[in-house]
Amino acid sequence: MTSLTRADVEHLARLARLQLAPEELDHYAGQLDVILQSVARVSEVAADDIPPTSHPIPMANVFRDDVVRPGVRRDDIAAAAPAWEDDRFRVPRILDEE
């Protein structure tokens, strides 16, 4: 496998619209090369008779059943609000728009 060059990283940075300093190009070229080598190593081990998995151990559905419960009443919320108007919280204006 060929290693990533500084020009490769510069091209990737341009595609991602990143501005990298010259020393960053060399730094990231080394880091990305290690990542690509690791992925290649995993690809060597992967066999066609082993199905792809998302977890190394079997997972069971851990979601709880949906249970309808009553929510907080609007009147209780309005009573606790510092300011309430037209069924909504009233807050101070923060923009000068009309």
Q: What is the pLDDT along the chain (98 residues), one digit of tens a residue?
A: 567 888 999 999 999 999 999 999 989 998 999 999 998 888 787 677 877 778 888 878 778 888 999 999 989 999 999 999 898 899 888 887 66
51 falls within a domain: no
- What pLDDT score was predicted for residue 12? 92
Distance CA 70, CA 97 (A): 39
Report the CATH number that the domain containing residue 36 is assigned in CATH: 1.10.20
34 falls within a domain: yes
Q: How many domains does the chain have?
A: 1
Model pTM? 0.46
39 falls within a domain: yes
- Residues 13/19, Cβ–Cβ less than 8 Å: yes
77 falls within a domain: no
28 falls within a domain: yes
What tokens appear for 77 in the block?
Answer: 């919320």
Contacts of 29 (CB under 8 A, 6+ apart): 3, 4, 5, 6, 8, 9
Provide the 10 A C-beta neighbour count for residue 70: 5
38 is in which domain, residue-wise?
6-45
